[in-house]
Amino acid sequence: MSNPEKFRRGLLAITLASALAACGEQAVEPKQIEIDPASLASSFLINAEDELATLRKELYRAEWIYQNFITEDTASLAADANSRYTAAQVRLAHEAAKFDGIDLAASTRRKLDILKFSIVLPAPADADKNAELAKLAADLNGMYGKGKYCLSADNCLTLPEMSNIMASSRDADELLALWQGWRDVSPPMKPLYERQVSLANEGAKALGFNDLGTMWRSNYDMSPTDFSVEMDRLWGQVKPLYEALHCHVRAKLGETYGTDLVSPDQPIPAHLLGNMWAQTWGNIYNIAAPEDADPGFDLTTQLAVHGYDELKMVEGAERFFTSLGFEPLPDTFWQRSLFTQPADRDVVCHASAWDLDDQEDIRIKMCIQKTGEEYAVIHHELGHNFYQRAYKDQSTLFQNSANDGFHEAIGDTIALSVTPEYLRQTGLLTAEEIPSADKDLGLLMKMAMDKVAFLPFGLLVDKWRWQVFSGEVSPQQYNQAWWQLREEYQGVKAPISRDENAFDPGAKYHVPGNTPYARYFLAHILQFQFHRSLCEMAGNDGPIHRCTIYGNKEVGEKLNAMLAMGASKPWPEALEIVTGSKQMDATAILDYFAPLKTWLDQQNIGRQCGW
């Protein structure tokens, strides 16, 4: 008898015997009766969704409190809630696997697959190991959240403060001190991370996966191997654009800091790019700006001039969504969200969007800085919230995005519509301040320094984790493997030699926070695809980087149709709704930056590109 068959018979026998016992009947020999496996699967799923929905609410509430008030006690409560939720997820994933090989309706099969594939941190079934894993996860998160760089006992900088300085300082020594100082946060994480990897791998193996990385890559409606190939294919499409940008920015950095510091044929030292992780470079736009094409405005300045505080920034972002026809955010959003860094306690400042009750209780948590960069991040976060609300009527297991890249792409798609014309319509620029067409290269350069520069970073974070999870990289090699990938993909190097205790991946939120990262790479491809299609729908006939979908309700409706599907269908079907295509495709980002690429190639003539 096949496994599913055995399971079905066994379950029937048990069900019948216990139903009789419960009615006070005499125990009888279980009888074989035919029950449709489809109805067994359905009732299993109804109970599973019910249980998960309840536990998820408890978990999110505990996590919200923990991340807003990091203490020993809140860490412990969050870890407890996490271990309850994970134990249920793991048990249900094992049960779901018993339906393997049975012919079921597509949506039933999809829910079972979601149960099997979507545990981010699968614990071993053993209760002690589960509790240990949950505690490690909470502790790692807390270590990052509490992290500071102290110049002296009473002069400590938080990460947002350091990020602000790194954005504007052009003093290489100061930049290096911050770069190095922040990385003191992570060596103590390393033993915890090592243990976390080992426990979560054990959990993944018990569920039938080779390792946790394979499990993460299984959640994209294709085989894990095909997913890796797909990531590399997309990277191959954009690599020439990235290399052209890298070449130009490196040359300009060489002019600014001297070629002793920035060698013309070597990877760029990672502290000079305006961002703690060198993942976006828009903050050093003025170093690489095309001459005579400066857009002439700076969003950070415009926000200040027009009196935008944190609240007004969030309201501004909300207005974009409501202009597309989305309902305004509920009162509770405004009452319960965190917008500014509290002075009196430790919080996880890394921006996040929450859905506490699967219905209306959506919030963001963010230590907003009053900059143009953060204005985009607010749009990013609200994209999550509007997505969550759009799929709230789906059943529990479908209350998610089509794939995780979609979740990350929605708010960014909206932010691509934050164009000069949009800023004029909302009063942040006057008609005279709108840059003319000959300033397009400047606008494109600024955008590329954020979006194109991000791509290899978006790819390599999980390449590193996949190697770590598979055992290809041992704990002794964690840091060295990290820098190898940073050099290979980004062409960025550590500015000083790293000592053997260093654990630099731990200084990036998503590693101690255990958030998969491939999603952001996908989002950076998808958001340009969405933008291009939505702009076509809006009848845009100018250059795509000048297009804004602001105020277009018809376009909003189309977007909402995709969001409302949640995870109920394979992601290519969701993609097709907005783009008409079932393929992720980097030609949209290439089209967007085509004029810049031509210009970069000219600038790079005579330079030695690559590293």
Alpha-carbon separation of residue 534 from 22, 443, 449, 450, 538 (angstroms): 58, 20, 23, 21, 6
Q: How far apart are CA 424 and CA 434, in angstroms?
A: 7
Q: Establish how many alpha carbons lie within 13 A of residue 459's alpha carbon, considering only the half-sphere containing its beta carbon.
A: 25
Task: Find which of ligand X8Z, Zn ion, none residue 418 binds, CB within 5 to 8 Å per kind.
Answer: none
275 or 548: CB nearest ligand X8Z:
275
520 binds ligand X8Z (CB under 6 A): yes
Asked about 381 being catalytic, the answer comes back as yes
Q: Is 500 annotated as a binding residue?
A: no
Comparing C-alpha atoms, which of 350, 387, 279, 367 is closest to residue 510?
A: 350
522 within 8 A of 585, measured Cβ to Cβ: no
- Shortest distance (Å) from residue 377 CB to ligand X8Z: 5
The answer on whether 380 is annotated among ligand-binding residues is: yes
- State which of residues 380, 463, 465, 569 lies at the interface with ligand X8Z (CB under 6 A): 380
Q: What is the closest distance, in whole angstroms, from the C-beta atom of residue 196 to ligand X8Z in the complex?
A: 19
Q: Supply the minimum distance, in Å, between the C-beta of residue 90 and Zn ion.
A: 26
Output 358 or 412, the one with its CB closest to Zn ion.
412
Binding of residue 141 to ligand X8Z (CB under 6 A):
no
User: Residue 30's Cα: distance from chain center in Å?
Assistant: 50
Query: Of 323 and 401, which CB lies nearer to ligand X8Z in the complex structure?
Result: 401
358 or 408: whose CB is closer to Zn ion? 408
Rounded distance between C-alpha atoms, residue 251 and residue 194, angstroms = 39
Residue 524 catalytic?
no
Any idea how long the chain is?
Answer: 611
Residue 79: name the closest of 119, 132, 143, 144 by CA.
Answer: 132
Closer by beta carbon to Zn ion, 220 or else 354:
354
The Cα 560–Cα 286 span in angstroms is 37
Chain CA centroid to CA 1, Å:
44
* Partner touching 377 among ligand X8Z, Zn ion, none, CB below 5 to 8 Å by kind: ligand X8Z
Identify which of residues 407 and 558 has a Cβ nearer to ligand X8Z in the complex. Answer: 407
Is 306 annotated as a binding-site member? no
Q: Which of 17, 65, 222, 351 binds ligand X8Z (CB under 6 A)?
A: 351
The helix (H) or strand (E) run that includes residue 362 is strand 362-365
Diameter of the chain measured on Cα atoms:
91
Q: Is 518 near ligand X8Z (CB under 6 A)?
A: no
String of contacts with Zn ion for each residue 528-567, x by CB under 5 A: ----------------------------------------
Helices 172-182 and 159-168: crossing angle, nearest 10°? 160
Residue type for position 591: D
Please give the structure tokens belonging to residue 560: 């909402």
Closest Cα partner for 67 from 364, 348, 345? 348
CA distance 451 to 444: 10
Shortest Cβ distance from residue 413 to ligand X8Z (Å)? 13
Q: Any known ligand binding at 384? A: yes
Here's the x/- map for Zn ion, 383-412, by CB under 5 A: it reads as: -------------------------x----
Is 532 assigned a ligand-binding role in the annotation?
no
- The strand ranges marked E within 492-557 are 492-493
Shortest distance (Å) from residue 352 CB to ligand X8Z: 6
Q: Least Å distance between CB 513 and ligand X8Z?
A: 9
Give the SS3 label for residue 148.
strand
What is the contact surface with Zn ion in residues (CB under 5 A)? 408
What is the contact surface with ligand X8Z in residues (CB under 6 A)? 351-352, 377, 380, 520
Which residues participate in catalysis according to the annotation? 381, 510
**Which residues are documented as binding site for chloride?**
220, 519
